[in-house]
Copies of this chain bind each other. A is one copy, B any other.
Amino acid sequence: MRPTAEVTGLATDVRLACMRIARRVRFENAGALAPHQFSALVRLEDSPRTPGELAEVERVSAPSMTRTLAHLEEKGLVRRSPHPTDGRQVLLALTDAGRATLAEVRAERDEWMATRLADLTAEERRTLREATAILARVAAR
């Protein structure tokens, strides 16, 4: 469907609101983990992956991912193991420390948001709950 003026105006507002929130969350929680390191760690949460897969999904070059993974390994957050069937490939997996770090960073970020949402009315929170479901679909497309 072709966007109307009403939709375009809303698009601006939604975009700006989301970018400001994201910026505040990142700023408030610089944390011990750089953004690209955090992103890579998140990708390993569901299952181990190869450096190549991680580079592709994070849209960085293979050498960049090599470097990022080396740092995460130094910090003990990921562990590497040989690929079971392809000797050229390597598998990276989260360590217990890696999982704990992910949880910590998320807890800090949630706390920032939660303290602010606690001051809203129940009605306002209901609106946000509905909106996040919609935004999740929008982001997925």
Interface size on A, residues (CB 8 A): 52
Asked if A75 is an interface residue, CB under 8 A from chain B, the answer is no
Question: How many copies altogether?
Answer: 2
Label chain A's interface by main secondary structure.
Answer: helix
Q: Is there a chain B Cβ closer than 8 Å to A70's Cβ?
A: no
> Interface code A10-34, partner B: CB below 8 Å = 1, 0 otherwise?
1111111111111111110000000
Q: Across the interface, name the chain B residue whose C-beta is closest to A138.
A: B116
Contact B17 A117 (CB under 8 A): no
A-B residue pairs in contact (CB < 8 Å), sample of 30: A2-B118, A3-B111, A3-B115, A3-B118, A6-B125, A7-B114, A7-B117, A7-B125, A8-B114, A11-B113, A11-B117, A13-B132, A14-B21, A14-B117, A14-B128, A15-B109, A16-B132, A17-B132, A18-B19, A18-B21, A19-B25, A20-B136, A20-B139, A21-B22, A21-B138, A21-B139, A22-B23, A116-B138, A124-B134, A127-B134
